[in-house]
Amino acid sequence: MTVYTRDDIKAAGWLREENYIGGAWVAADDGRTYGVDDPATETQIGTIPWVGRTETKRAIDAAQAAFTAWSMTTAGERAGLLGRMAQIVRDNLDILASMLTLEQGKPLAEARNEMKLGADYIQWFAEEARRINGEIIPSPWKDRQILVTREPVGVVGAISPWNFPFSMLSRKIAPALAAGCTIVIKPSEFTPYCGLLYGVLAGMAGVPAGVVNVVTGDGAAVGGELTQNPLVRKITFTGSTRVGKLLYKQSADTMKKLSMELGGNAPTIIFDDADLELAVENAIAGKFRNTGQTCVCTNRFYVQDGIYDAFAARLTERVRQMKVGNGFDAGVEQGPLINQAAVAKVEAHVQDAKAKGGRVLLGGKRHALGATFYEPTVIADATPDMLIAHEETFGPVAALFRFTTEQEGVDAANATEFGLAAYFFTKDLARTFRVARAIQSGMIGINAGVITTPEAPFGGVKDSGIGREGSTHGVEDYLNIKYLSLGGL
C-alpha cells in the first residue's frame, strides 16, 4: 500500500484548510485558526478555521436556501450523486487512508478499511434513496383513502467524533442526502480533515451548493447554534454520553428530531463451552482495533471459571505478538492514542485496577515509543469496584472478570448504564437464545467480535443513545411521516 505524505495529500487537493459553506471554501470571519496534530509524532499537520456561531448560522442559512430545490430532486438524481461520491472514495482509497492515519493515528490498513466502509455506507444509502416508499392504508371511510408519504425533515446538524472520522459521518450525510435533507457538519476538532473531505467530495460529485456544509472549530459555539437555531430540524450526534445529553437538552426548545450514538461499555462473555481460538481471535479484533478507541469495543471480559485460565493465557500470548508503532509503519497493529489526555485516562484506569487487586499479565504502562503510546495490556482478577468496570477506558486494555453461573455472567454484563454493543461466545444453542434475550444492548455479536456493516442497524439503548444508523432503518430518522386523508371519492 502506497504511503502518501501530508504534502502529497495537500497537493492532490484532498486536504483542505478552509470551511465549506454554500459551495465556497472560506476562512473564519476573524481569520482565526487552530493547529491539528499528528497523534503519532505530535507535530502539526496544518491549521484550519476556528469558527463560532456566526459562521455556523451562515452555513445553516445556506443549507436552508438549498433545501427546497434539493428536496424536489428525484430519488434517482440523489442516488446518482451519492453513488458518484462513493466511487470517488473507492478510486482514491490509498491516498485518503494516508490522510486518515495522518490525523487519527490508526494503522494504515485499518484506515483503508474505514475509508472503504465509509464508501460502502454512502453506496448503501444511494441505493436506499429509491426505496423511501409511502403507504396506502385500508380506509374506515367508504369515500376516502388514507395515504402516507415520507418527506425530508429539512436542515440537519451533524456532530461527529475523532475515532472514526470518515465512516461516522458517512452514515449521517448519506442518509440525510438520500432523504432529500441538506446538512451542516461539524467534525471533531482532532480530526477535521476527514470531515472537510465531504466538502471536497460534494464539490467533485456535483452536489449543488449549500446541500453539504462543513464548519470546524469551537464545539460549544457551533453545537449551540446547531441545536438552538429553529431552521435546523434534526440533530445527529456521535460522541460521548456527556455531550450527547447536553445537546439533547439544548434541542428541546426547538423540538428537533434527534439521533444519539453515544458511549459504550461493551461486555464480552466467554462461556466454558466457547470455541477458545474463535473467542481469542474475535477478542483481539473487537478489543484492540483502533487501539481500543472504538465505541463498540469490549471494555469488560467476563470469563467463566472453567475456561478462565486458558483464555487468559492464550489472549496474553496473542496480545504479546501485536506490533506497536506509527500507523504508517509496515506491520503495525497498534498505533498511538489520539492524544496525551487519552493516555492519561488509560493510565488512571490501569493504576486503579492495580490498586484494587488487578493482576497485570502484560503491559500495564506507557510505551517507550512516545507520550501518546500505551503498551497493549491484559489485566486479570478485575472486580466490579474498578473504574474499568464502569467507564469506557478507550484504550488497549483487556480486563478479565471471573464468573461461575450463566446468570452471574449476564447480570454482570448488564450492570452498566450503557447498552451499545455486547458479545458472547458459546456453542450451546439454547444458551445462545437465552442470553441474547437477557442482554440489554442495541447490538449483540454472538461468536463474532466485529459486527459493523451498512446492512445492519447500528445503535444503542439506555445511556448509549437513541436511533439507528445504517440498514433500511438508517434513513428513517431523516424523514417525517405525512398523513393525507383524501375524501370526496
Helix 167-179 and helix 108-128, axial crossing angle in degrees, nearest 10: 10
Question: Which residues, other chains included, contact 362 with Cβ-Cβ below 8 Å and sequence gap of 6+?
Answer: 316, 319, 320, 375, 376, 377, 378
* Candidates 261, 333, 375, 406; catalytic one: 261
SS3 (DSSP) at 454 = coil
220 binds ligand NAD (CB under 6 A): yes
- Return the C-alpha cell found at 258: 434527534
Q: Which of 240, 339, 432, 440 binds ligand NAD (CB under 6 A)?
A: 240
Q: Which of 27, 109, 246, 461 binds ligand NAD (CB under 6 A)?
A: 246
420 binds ligand NAD (CB under 6 A): yes
59 binds ligand NAD (CB under 6 A): no
Q: Which of 106, 112, 116, 186 binds ligand NAD (CB under 6 A)?
A: 186
261 is catalytic: yes
Taking the least distance from each CB to ligand NAD, the nearer of 191 and 377 is 191
Closest approach of Cβ 28 to ligand NAD, in Å?
Answer: 16
Residue 278 CB burial class (10 angstroms; 0-12, 13-18, ≥19): middle
The enclosing H or E element of 159 equals strand 155-159
Closest approach of Cβ 159 to ligand NAD, in Å?
Answer: 5
DSSP state of 334: B
264 binds ligand NAD (CB under 6 A): yes
Best CA proximity match to 291, nearest among 336, 252, 257, 258 = 336
159 binds ligand NAD (CB under 6 A): yes
Q: Which of 392, 406, 463, 477 binds ligand NAD (CB under 6 A)?
A: 392
What is the tally of helices (H) and strands (E) in the chain?
15, 22
Taking the least distance from each CB to ligand NAD, the nearer of 164 and 424 is 164
Closest approach of Cβ 227 to ligand NAD, in Å?
Answer: 7
Q: Which of 118, 180, 199, 239 binds ligand NAD (CB under 6 A)?
A: 239
x-marked contacts with ligand NAD along 268-297 as a string, rule CB under 6 A: ---------------------------x--
223 binds ligand NAD (CB under 6 A): yes
Angstrom distance (rounded) from CA 177 to CA 462: 28
219 binds ligand NAD (CB under 6 A): yes
Angstrom distance (rounded) from CA 461 to CA 420: 6
Closest approach of Cβ 56 to ligand NAD, in Å?
Answer: 11
Taking the least distance from each CB to ligand NAD, the nearer of 129 and 159 is 159
* Number of Cβ atoms within 10 Å of the Cβ of 423: 30
Angstrom distance (rounded) from CA 128 to CA 468: 15
- Return the C-alpha cell found at 337: 492514542
456 binds ligand NAD (CB under 6 A): no
The enclosing H or E element of 60 equals helix 53-71
> What part of residues 459-478 is at the interface with ligand NAD (CB under 6 A)?
460, 465
* Number of Cβ atoms within 10 Å of the Cβ of 228: 14
Taking the least distance from each CB to ligand NAD, the nearer of 247 and 439 is 247
Provide the pairing of β-strand 465-466 with 257-261: antiparallel
CA distances from 458 to 7, 92, 316, 448, 455 (A): 36, 26, 30, 15, 9
188 binds ligand NAD (CB under 6 A): yes
165 binds ligand NAD (CB under 6 A): no
Size of the residue set binding ligand NAD (CB under 6 A): 28
Q: Which of 49, 105, 107, 161 binds ligand NAD (CB under 6 A)?
A: 161
Q: How far apart are the first and last CA of the chain?
A: 65
- Return the C-alpha cell found at 190: 482532532
162 binds ligand NAD (CB under 6 A): yes
DSSP β-bridge partners for residue 147: 136, 484
Stretches 127-135, 184-192, 346-354, 477-485: which one binds ligand NAD (CB under 6 A)? Answer: 184-192
Question: Do residues 174 and 470 make contact, with C-beta atoms less than 8 angstroms apart?
Answer: no
- Residue ranges in contact with ligand NAD by CB under 6 A: 159-164, 168, 186, 188-189, 219-220, 223, 238-240, 243, 246-247, 261-264, 295, 392, 420, 460, 465
Question: Which residues form the catalytic set?
Answer: 261
